[in-house]
């Protein structure tokens, strides 16, 4: 076991319970990321292999902080651990399963500006009125659909405006697939779909990761929550080994 003297009683309780599921609620600035880091260290010190732990954060800064603290606390190689943001971990996952995900091995990631430029190219190609359908609004529409786990065929069309947006969304999907690129939301959605549709891959990761830790749990959207369910150890209900902290 590691020394927990640097934690207050509530933090020690959260770190010490080795079985899950467990939800920790705490206010901003109360050391939630610190608790996750100590919990990972305590799990490893208790005999859990470092590569059996998956830890999800919302910022690269928090992920780097966890890695730095963990390497200072234990003589463990943290470079191979799955600690990162949702998008960072999805990128790692898809690089490993690019063929199954129907992507080129060297697929590129579009940032927000790249995505907007790609949408504007479609507007020119299909002569779409950018005053009636501002490209940024279409960009938000596409991102919102993906965050709900919706492909173009899944979107409920109730009016002509939505129908046009869905058509643009489909053109955008086709263009990205042709060019071998993905946006940030696609990283999440494609990882979720691959896990959902391939039992052997899903079971492999559920057996591998015995502990899944989630920072800033209150900020998870619908797709991220479903993504976490795919990775939950052994697919148990409630999911064993899941440890979440949030405001």
pLDDT at 82: 94
Q: Collect the ranges in the chain with pLDDT lower than 70.
A: 1, 20, 234-240
Measure the CA–CA gap between 160 and 40, rounded to whole angstroms: 51
At residue 103, the 3 state secondary structure works out as: coil
Which candidate, 144, 145, 121, 123, places its Cα nearest to that of 132? 123
Tens-place pLDDT, residues 88-133: 999 999 999 999 999 999 999 999 999 999 999 999 999 999 999 9
Edge to edge, the sheet with strand 22-25 lists 22-25, 242-246, 211-214, 53-57, 82-85
User: Which pTM value belongs to this model?
Assistant: 0.90
State pLDDT tens for residues 53-73: 999 998 999 899 889 889 888
Output the pLDDT for position 5.
75
Residue 125 φ then ψ, to 5°: -65, -40
């Amino acid at each position: 076991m590691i020394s927990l003297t640097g934690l207050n009683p509530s933090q020690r309780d959260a770190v010490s319970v080795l079985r899950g599921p467990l939800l920790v609620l705490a206010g901003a600035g109360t050391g939630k990321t610190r608790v996750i880091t100590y919990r990972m260290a305590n799990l490893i010190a208790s005999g859990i292999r470092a590569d059996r732990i998956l830890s999800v954060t919302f910022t690269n800064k928090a992920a780097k902080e966890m890695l730095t603290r963990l390497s200072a606390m234990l003589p463990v190689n943290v470079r191979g651990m799955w600690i990162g943001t949702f998008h960072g971990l999805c990128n790692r996952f898809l690089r490993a399963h690019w063929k199954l995900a129907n992507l080129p091995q060297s697929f590129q990631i579009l940032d927000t500006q790249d995505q907007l430029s790609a949408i504007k190219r479609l507007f020119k190609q299909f002569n779409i009125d950018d005053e009636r359908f501002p490209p940024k609004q279409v960009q938000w529409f596409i991102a919102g659909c993906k965050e709900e786990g919706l492909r173009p065929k899944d979107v409920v069309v109730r009016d002509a405006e939505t129908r046009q947006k869905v058509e643009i969304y489909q053109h955008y999907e086709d263009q990205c697939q042709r060019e071998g690129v993905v946006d940030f939301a696609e990283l999440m959605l494609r990882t979720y779909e691959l896990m959902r549709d391939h039992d052997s891959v899903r079971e492999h990761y559920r057996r591998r990761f015995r502990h899944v830790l989630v920072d800033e749990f209150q900020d998870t959207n619908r797709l991220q929550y479903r993504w976490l369910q795919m990775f939950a150890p052994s697919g148990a209900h409630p999911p064993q080994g899941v440890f979440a902290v949030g405001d």
